[in-house]
Chain A
Amino acid sequence: EAGVVQSPRYKIIEKKQPVAFWCNPISGHNTLYWYRQNLGQGPELLIRYENEEAVDDSQLPKDRFSAERLKGVDSTLKIQPAELGDSAVYLCASSSGTPRGNTIYFGEGSWLTVV
Chain B
Amino acid sequence: AQSVTQLDSQVPVFEEAPVELRCNYSSSVSVYLFWYVQYPNQGLQLLLKYLSGSTLVKGINGFEAEFNKSQTSFHLRKPSVHISDTAEYFCAVSASNFGNEKLTFGTGTRLTIIP
Contacts and interface: CB of A to CB of B under 8 A. Distances in A.
Contacts, number: 57
Interface residues of B, number: 25
A44 interface: yes
10 contacts: A40-B108, A41-B107, A42-B107, A44-B105, A48-B102, A98-B101, A100-B32, A104-B103, A106-B44, A106-B45
Interface residues of A, number: 22
B51 interface: yes
A103 B107 contact: no
A interface, over-half SS:
loop
Contacts of A25: none
Residue from B45, B49, B103, B105 with most neighbouring chain A CB atoms (10 Å): B103
Interface of B: 4, 9, 32, 36, 41-46, 49, 51, 90, 92, 94-96, 98, 101-103, 105-108
Contacts of B45: 106
A42 B105 contact: yes
B51 A101 contact: yes
Given A42-B4, A101-B96, 15 more contacts: A4-B43, A41-B108, A42-B107, A45-B103, A48-B102, A56-B101, A91-B44, A99-B101, A99-B102, A100-B95, A101-B32, A103-B49, A106-B43, A107-B43, A109-B42
A104 B101 CA distance: 12
Contacts of B106: 42
A109 B101 CA distance: 23
